[in-house]
Structure 1
Amino acid sequence: MDWQFDGIPLHPLLVHLTTVSVPVAALTAIVTAAWPAARRWLAVGAPVIALVALVSVPLATSSGEWLEHREKETALLERHTELADGLLPWSIAVFVLLTLWWGWHRFAAPRVTNDGVARAVGIVGPVLLVAAGIGSLVEVVVIGHAGAVSVWKG
């Protein structure tokens, strides 16, 4: 695909979408894990936010790979592109966990009669959501910093 519009690369635009949507999805995961009222308020919106973030990641990486082949190869650019490949698994984790968490509370939790299962999900779910949220936040900051260094110092 030609990742440009009127001769201007689309990567910066798509990167801005990613650098906003991934942290918003990560913070949504952390908030819904820690605050039950937010979980009820966000409801299906939480997985939708995470889906937007998930879709933005391959768009940004694909446009970045397209742009990489048109730029001078440097060690800074190589580091940025290598780091960028690590964001997709975190975004998948946030999306899947938020979807499961929403589904659990929407469909399964009201029907579960085993207190042990409910307690285990109530402990493991938030821990995984917070871990995935923090992991994706750290990853997007590190990738963004490496990209900025590549552009401004490379």
Structure 2
Amino acid sequence: MSLINGLPAHVLLVHAVVVLVPLSALTLVICALWPQAARRLGLALPLLALVTLATVPLATQAGEWLERHVDSDPLVRRHAELGDGMLPWALGLFVLAAGVWWISRRTGAPQLRELSGARSGARSGSVLHVAAAVLSVVVAAGAVVDVYRIGDSGAKAAWHDAYSKTATKSSDGD
């Protein structure tokens, strides 16, 4: 994918990444720390993370196309290098979202646990829950910081020479 309606696809696709990564990260942390939220959201949590994961390589491939169609610039190269690091974070969000969803389903019905008398399962469930919560916070924070760094470098690459610090026209129409 290179152009969408005459515009470089990367310019449009990055907006999906910039919105979906923090949204997935926030949703993951909420669900990891509040299991009832994970049970209420159900499959929406891993599906959101899967859509997020799918947008990253689309934006990256479109960015690689765009990089070949602009002048060589150190800021563009730095942005491309940073952008290549987003996929592992998005994959981590998806894996943890699926894990949190699975844990919430596995430990979700307190009545069933009480009826089965599974006491040892409660301890392993709480260890899984704590581990998933800690990993979720770490990966979510890393993903959000990385998407910020990538976006900031992209904005600098796109705009560093594209505007004047002084107005070129008066604001009252003169």
**TM-score, length basis structure 1:** 0.92
Q: Is the 8 A contact 1:87 1:136 kept in 2?
A: yes
Aligned residue in 2 for 1:32: 31
Question: Cα deviation per residue 1:109-152 (whole Å; 9 max; x = unaligned)?
Answer: 65665233122112101001111111100000000000000001
The count of corresponding residues between Structure 1 and Structure 2 is 153
Q: CA deviation at 1:33?
A: 1.5
- The amino acid across from 1:7 in the alignment is G
- Quick one: distance in 1 between partners of 2:62 and 2:150? 15
Verify the 8 A CA contact 1:76 1:150 in the aligned structure 2: yes
Contact 2:103 2:129 in 1 (8 A): no
Structure 1 Cα separation of the partners of residues 129 and 4 of structure 2:
47
Quote how far apart the aligned CAs of 1:108 are: 5.8
Higher helix content, 1 or 2: 1
Q: In the aligned structure 2, how far is the partner of 1:5 from the partner of 1:130? A: 35
Q: CA RMSD in A?
A: 1.7
Deviations 1:43-79 (A, max 9, x none): 2111111111100000000000000000011110011
2:125 is matched with: 118
Distance 1:20 1:11 in 2: 14
SS at match of 1:71: coil
C-alpha distance in 1 between matches for 2:108 and 2:125 = 7
1:105 is aligned to 104
Give unmatched runs, 5+ long, in structure 2: 162-174
Moved over 6 A (4+): none
Higher mean displacement: 29-38 or 15-24: 29-38
Higher Cα Rg, which structure: 2
Q: Distance in 2 between matches of 1:6 and 1:47?
A: 31
- The answer to whether the Cα contact below 8 Å between 1:19 and 1:140 also exists between their aligned partners in 2 is yes
Aligned to 2:137: 130
Contact 1:94 1:129 (8 Å CA) reproduced: yes
Decide whether the 8 Å contact of 2:46 with 2:97 is kept in 1.
yes
Check conservation: 1:3, 1:11, Cα contact below 8 A.
yes
Q: Is the 8 A contact 1:18 1:57 kept in 2?
A: yes
Q: TM-score, normalization: structure 2?
A: 0.82
